[in-house]
Amino acid sequence: MGVLHRDSPETDADPLRASWTGGGTAVGFDLDLTLADTRAGISAVYAAIAAESGVHIDVDVVAGRLGPPLEVELAHWFPAAEVPAMADRYRALYPGIALPATVVMPGAAAALDAVRARGGRVVVVSGKNQADTERTVRFLGLPVDVVVGGLFGAEKGSALREHGVGAYIGDHTGDVDAARAAAAVAVGVATGAFDAAALTAYGADVVLPDLHAFPDWLTGFVTG
């Protein structure tokens, strides 16, 4: 699968291209299913919660819709009054269960290297809570300049703006919303719940099959 574009992405893309000519810019990345494959770890945490609580949780369903805040997912399985306690328990279990099962997504290392090789800064903005976002980045050894957790969808826009992000890369439609909120180029990667057609239909400026395609896109974009 090649790179897909909206019909007229150049207008939205020009500010980012111009910023590179001034000596680099910041590029933002989502974490789960963009830089980090957290599916096995998250599934294991939900399995542990199900075993402890006696509540059936379909971990395959959970793993297939990663992206929204933890409390949103827990609300599918627990009454509203129990969600805060279950969220606390999830976060207590996460470092010991999920972190060791987390691996780098294909192409992630090369994607970050491509940004840094051009004088850019790497900013990770994730829906995962701040502590576990930091732990994940540190565990995987990702060369990141800024880590911000606890934001989803358009809420990410404030952090992206604060750190001067010109393009935001993510696997979820909420990441397109994030880029839009920051007036950044929305780059979708079809590595999560949404395929290339869904990300394109939602309005991503660029859609890549995975991060293996990112360095070539960035080279073409910056020099184009």
| Average pLDDT of the residues in 120-141 | 97
Checking if the pLDDT of 24 tops 70, the result is: no
| Average pLDDT of the residues in 138-165 | 97
Range list of β-strands (E), the chain:
4-5, 26-29, 36-37, 103-104, 121-125, 146-148, 165-170, 185-189, 206-208
Percent of the chain with pLDDT over 90: 85
Checking if the pLDDT of 189 tops 90, the result is: yes
Least confident stretch, 20-29, 72-81, 90-99: 20-29
The pLDDT confidence band at residue 17, using thresholds 50, 70 and 90, is low
Distance CA 154, CA 128 (A): 15
Checking if the pLDDT of 20 tops 90, the result is: no
Look at residue 53 in the predicted model and tell me its pLDDT. Answer: 97
Q: Model confidence over 162-177: pLDDT tens digits?
A: 999 999 999 999 999 9
Q: 64-97 burial string, b = 16+ CB within 10 Å, else e?
A: eebbebbeebbbebbeeeebeebbebbeebbbeb
The pLDDT confidence band at residue 106, using thresholds 50, 70 and 90, is very high
Checking if the pLDDT of 18 tops 70, the result is: no
The pLDDT confidence band at residue 55, using thresholds 50, 70 and 90, is very high
Checking if the pLDDT of 23 tops 70, the result is: no
Checking if the pLDDT of 22 tops 50, the result is: no
Q: Does domain 4-37+104-223 have CATH number 3.20.20.210?
A: no
